[in-house]
Structure 1
């Protein structure tokens, strides 16, 4: 039965041409820090079903601001044990997925929101010499570890630390051009993750020139609303509501984002529609006033999940684990997305039906395909009755199936047609992970002083340091040291690097 399912899915993925459209790409970002999560949130490279994606993108590598080189952020997780600091060989395991699906293309991404203010990107990429070194370094990394391309996720040119630096736009294009020229002789791909809404995209991009150098333009059509606002809003509504006006109506919905990019010169065959596999949570001011656009607590501590551990964000896997009987579920028939309410908790998200409708929309607009952020927040274990239920819904629609009419989160609950506001750029969609790991540092105490059992343990004297205790063949426990990213501590309950305000740390420094 398992092999039959695999054959069926494979046929779906590669039988696009028989359906007469070119919307055939399924681009899947993978947050590699998910390998540190426990339970149903754990997502190793081997967890991913490579038959559900045409392109897989590993996130992230970083940028060395001094010389422009690309740097590995988590050596122990990413590199093989044969290299300094290496261990788990995430790159190798990720690229080994191509043995299961030989048509799969793998890329590695640089940047992301959690790189912080992007002044160093601006400084490096505006300097011809540093930019040249960046391109050379990126190519070397891709070739060395067997990726098929490189994804640029600079969030965002002319913003977040380099506001008013219009030269960022030209520097971004120059970078893409030089990457294209260096990568093309090797048959390698170049893609970019880009801000979707006009309010941000108009500051950062010269859209027509991007067509010449990019193979994929991954449109981040989500985070259109969130707890930074004073009212509830849907994370990624497909269309505006009738009661909206101004930017809420004209800018902050998927259709408006797609229209802006197409009207400003994007090649539709390269434009890939981003779909979130997570929701945004709010705290209502009045639990009886709950429709989209209702007053909410600004920067309130919206509900967070046990795996993503970020207030205001819930992965779909985390939504599925909630007691659905405690929630009232609603369908916004204008925005074509669901939302759910429990007391003062409010969550706008995407389910099987809404992602299917967005895949259908991508077909109708003649786009190159869809992108998901990110694969590790789909249903990894089959809580819904089907592993990777959202990705399966997307694939089914792209390859001739119908849009699902029901969802695993909306059975026997009310429906209510009803969505909303702007932010200059996306907030983080995931907690930080360890940004530097080392094995057997001289400062690491003896394993016998640390490990009382297998698993993870926090350093007694430094809350930002933790160890993984692994039993070796001789039965002894060996401790491997990790350093959480700046501004985070190791959360002993969730077993992740978490923001300091979420962690009890009684160490006196």
Structure 2
């Protein structure tokens, strides 16, 4: 019985991937509604196939998943996308967005940076691990999700890697039981040490696709020199990490290229230079500036430069002493071309609030346009039929 079920699930995952067109995904951070004033209705929905709702938390005492901020998730009064009136929380807005855009799938992303200890505590206890799975499925059903994204950063040893495989298997079984079209993804690391710990081939048989995080290669909080943090090729100023090599690590391990999503940033990594006269990559910076990031849409474009060899934009602003490395529209278009040539599943971004709205500067729109436009995107339908009282008023 077990082997028949496993074979059925594996065949479905492979078939659904093979029949799908290109994907365009984005992480929506629930805290964006506060200081950044970015809401679900601001998402470029027609250029997207998947929205990853970040983040769902975990209760380590029981293993059950929970909201990290109930106010913005399910309580905040927000305008209805479908007309007059109000809805409560970002999740009801997302459900309405799904109703208007039937190709848009909304995935609950569990975990995030800094939650590794929570995963470890829960997955090492069989009862809590089972609570995690069942409560995750219950949340999918109640709040209108189209699947689950596991963002465990990162399993630290082979024991935890095996626990992750078991978790993905159980989630796949339960999701398939609810609806075979449900999505299961994993936020995958870029560094060698973290990749080597994972049992990639075992994980792959349960995953719809992989979100490979090809960014944060460099940053003032951990690097010794200025550098790009999402370059497509070559070294970045402080190490040899680049998108092409990271994707290659997965394909060389046997993961089909058409199940790999290229992760891209909608923000810059910034450095405060030690010497303003040395404003290129690989230069010393002052620790006094601390770790810095800046939303892409807030960067000054008149000082922007582009490294066509390594495919990254950068700038130096003498008024505040900040050096920034980031993707720009040229990066997005070249990465889209490379994605197609490499037969990837598509691309995704962290996080939605950082992008420029204008068609000319938007990284999401430039990438999708270069892929072949919105007509090239996955047209598989989202799931609208749920037994939920939370969603019924929106039907």
Distance of 2:90 and 2:280 partners within structure 1: 43
Counterpart contact for 1:80–1:92, Cα < 8 Å: no
Question: Which structure is higher in helix share?
Answer: 2
Aligned to 1:468: none
Aligned to 2:316: 341
Distance of 1:23 and 1:284 partners within structure 2: 44
The count of aligned residue pairs is: 342
Aligned to 1:391: 364
Q: Deviations over 1:368-396 (max 9, x none)?
A: 1101111111014x4xxx38711110110
Aligned to 2:192: 198
Q: Deviations over 1:315-362 (max 9, x none)?
A: 11121xx4x45xx33211221111001233100011111011111111
Q: What is the CA-CA distance between 1:22 and the residue it aligns to?
A: 6.7
Distance of 1:33 and 1:351 partners within structure 2: 24
Between 387-396 and 190-199, the greater mean CA deviation after superposition: 387-396
Normalised by the size of structure 2, how large is the TM-score? 0.82
Aligned to 2:379: none
| Greater length-normalized contact order (CA 8 Å, ≥ 6 residues apart) | 2
Counterpart contact for 1:23–1:363, Cα < 8 Å: no
Aligned to 2:385: none
Counterpart contact for 1:280–1:313, Cα < 8 Å: yes
Q: What is the CA-CA distance between 1:283 and the residue it aligns to?
A: 1.1
Distance of 2:124 and 2:341 partners within structure 1: 38
**Among 243, 257, 267, the residue aligned to 1:268:** 257
* Structure 1 consecutive aligned stretches of length 4 or more whose deviation exceeds 6 Å: none
Distance of 1:105 and 1:117 partners within structure 2: 25
Unaligned stretches of 5+ residues in structure 2: 1-18, 78-86, 375-395
The alignment's C-alpha RMSD in Å is 2.2
DSSP 3-state at the match of 2:133: helix
Unaligned stretches of 5+ residues in structure 1: 1-20, 159-164, 303-310, 402-509
DSSP 3-state at the match of 1:317: helix
Report which of the two structures shows the higher radius of gyration computed on alpha carbons: 1
Distance of 1:195 and 1:341 partners within structure 2: 29
Q: Deviations over 1:150-199 (max 9, x none)?
A: 111111111xxxxxx43100001110010001101222111111112223
Aligned to 2:23: 25
1:313 and 2:293 are equivalent in the alignment: yes
Query: CA 1:49–1:100 in structure 2 vs 1: closer, same or farther (change >3 Å)?
Result: farther
Distance of 2:101 and 2:268 partners within structure 1: 30
Distance of 2:118 and 2:373 partners within structure 1: 45
Aligned to 1:209: 202
DSSP 3-state at the match of 1:79: helix
Q: Report 1:137-176 matches (<5 A).
A: 137-158=135-156, 165-176=157-168
Q: What is the CA-CA distance between 1:231 and the residue it aligns to?
A: 0.6
Counterpart contact for 1:176–1:213, Cα < 8 Å: yes
Distance of 1:108 and 1:259 partners within structure 2: 27
Aligned to 2:177: 185
Query: CA 1:288–1:388 in structure 2 vs 1: closer, same or farther (change >3 Å)?
Result: closer
Q: Report 1:377-388 matches (<5 A).
A: 377-380=354-357, 382=358, 386=359
Q: Deviations over 1:30-79 (max 9, x none)?
A: 11211112xxx421111112111001111111011011100111111111
Normalised by the size of structure 1, how large is the TM-score? 0.64
Counterpart contact for 1:240–1:248, Cα < 8 Å: no
DSSP 3-state at the match of 1:98: helix
1:52 and 2:20 are equivalent in the alignment: no
Q: What is the CA-CA distance between 1:123 and the residue it aligns to?
A: 1.8
Q: Deviations over 1:390-422 (max 9, x none)?
A: 111011011169xxxxxxxxxxxxxxxxxxxxx
Q: Deviations over 1:427-458 (max 9, x none)?
A: xxxxxxxxxxxxxxxxxxxxxxxxxxxxxxxx
Aligned to 1:297: 286
DSSP 3-state at the match of 1:56: strand
Counterpart contact for 1:22–1:269, Cα < 8 Å: no
Distance of 2:139 and 2:340 partners within structure 1: 35
Distance of 1:388 and 1:98 partners within structure 2: 26
Query: CA 1:179–1:24 in structure 2 vs 1: closer, same or farther (change >3 Å)?
Result: same
